[in-house]
Structure 1
């Protein structure tokens, strides 16, 4: 069957009352235009509302992609960072909503970076930048971003990503570990929830497919150490001032 017809059917299903996950007309048009079969190995099921696994990563089903972009609320002219490029499909949808040169994507797995670049080029989105990075560190060279989409779960919003947002920017990510909720967070801490989701956790160096070591606590330990140091600094300052006052008396 003609892929264009399959895309129409896919989007019609997402807009139907039975699923009700897609109401934004711009997102609907974008998902109708992106040739999803260029990003998924199995053309027969590329447009079915199901996930795929490619090179050790989960390719999100169309209904989840729709929910992410509803929360992201991209506008023409926005600069966007996709953390977790995967095979490149969500970056392609973003490139239909804004200029493709305003879309940046990173992934920690080198094979996926190569795959995403190949897929995006083949699907005529060669202007999207895809780089190999630790997602929690973002892409500071191209910051600030109006929108950042983190396609992995985290208990808290990674500090580096918040720092790379424009003043009125938004970070969309699944918050939580086992029980997750899709949230949109601003630099000043304001957030909004978009329902329950289930994503794999944000990986750190050594966890990507094919890595020798796996240690998910590396980033969490670093963040906890930073918080402890900051809390101790305030307490120590007060103690020093108190000592000084005692000595002066």
Structure 2
């Protein structure tokens, strides 16, 4: 690929993000710096810069870039925040978050995905990401509380263990829904008196599964 072609693809990529509502300059800058192509392998690599989800190992997907951008935007991450991501997947979302906050803890039930994502984080010199193979539905109580929590798999309701690991004033963004056809992206803000729930947009994500995978 020539420099001109690479520049054109990057411009189209950023235009697609803006056209879908990703307007935060910090997020656009982070998504320009993190090469999605580093997280897509095999026959789908040539489609890494299209705004579409793509298959990855273990029957999972890498989310479409505009959804990554919109979820990150909804999370309102600050530079001093500690962020927990449930569902490492390819590692792309964690990599974007790592440029926006102090530290990212990302967990996945598939050990293979954690290993492969960790290798990409190291290759991209992203030292503030801690990737752990564990049951994401339980969160990381030993590291709690978190300023922000992002869940990239759909549950019927926001999991209680994750809600309890959110700081007062903290925000969690996650898809909820009882099937893979009807899901909503919601933002949960923890208040002194409870939780505030805001519905953002329809989405489709793989389900949040308890326990560790056998891979």
TM-score normalised to the size of structure 2? 0.89
Match of 1:80 among 70, 83, 94: 83
Answer yes or no: is the 8 Å Cα contact 1:72–1:170 preserved in 2: yes
Q: How does 1:66-77 map to 2 (within 5 A)?
A: 66-77=69-80
1:50 corresponds to which residue? 52
Gaps of 5+ in 1: 212-249
Q: In structure 2, what is the Cα distance between the partners aligned to 1:8 and 1:95?
A: 22
Q: In structure 1, what is the Cα distance between the partners aligned to 2:51 and 2:91?
A: 17
Q: How does 1:94-133 map to 2 (within 5 A)?
A: 94-99=97-102, 102-133=103-134
2:198 corresponds to which residue? 192
> C-alpha deviations, 1:91-140, integer Å up to 9, x for none?
000011113xx111000111111011011111221331000111111011
Q: In structure 2, what is the Cα distance between the partners aligned to 1:4 and 1:167?
A: 42
Task: Give 1:4 deviation, angstroms.
Answer: 5.5
| Higher helix fraction (1 or 2) | 1
Largest Rg, 1 or 2: 1
Does structure 1 residue 65 correspond to structure 2 residue 73? no
Q: In structure 1, what is the Cα distance between the partners aligned to 2:38 and 2:123?
A: 7
Q: In structure 2, what is the Cα distance between the partners aligned to 1:152 and 1:85?
A: 10
Q: In structure 2, what is the Cα distance between the partners aligned to 1:22 and 1:127?
A: 24
SS in 1 for 2:195: coil
1:154 corresponds to which residue? 155
> C-alpha deviations, 1:132-188, integer Å up to 9, x for none?
111111011211111000001111111111111111111110111221110011232
| Higher strand fraction (1 or 2) | 2
1:203 corresponds to which residue? 209
Q: In structure 1, what is the Cα distance between the partners aligned to 2:15 and 2:171?
A: 28
Does structure 1 residue 92 correspond to structure 2 residue 98? no
Q: In structure 1, what is the Cα distance between the partners aligned to 2:7 and 2:119?
A: 21
Gaps of 5+ in 2: none
Answer yes or no: is the 8 Å Cα contact 1:87–1:119 preserved in 2: no
Higher normalized contact order (CA 8 Å, seq sep 6+, divided by chain length): 2
1:182 corresponds to which residue? 185
Answer yes or no: is the 8 Å Cα contact 2:60–2:206 preserved in 1: no
Across the two proteins, how many residue pairs are aligned to each other? Answer: 204
SS in 1 for 2:200: strand
Q: Following superposition, which runs of at least 4 residues in structure 1 exceed 3 angstroms of deviation?
A: 1-5
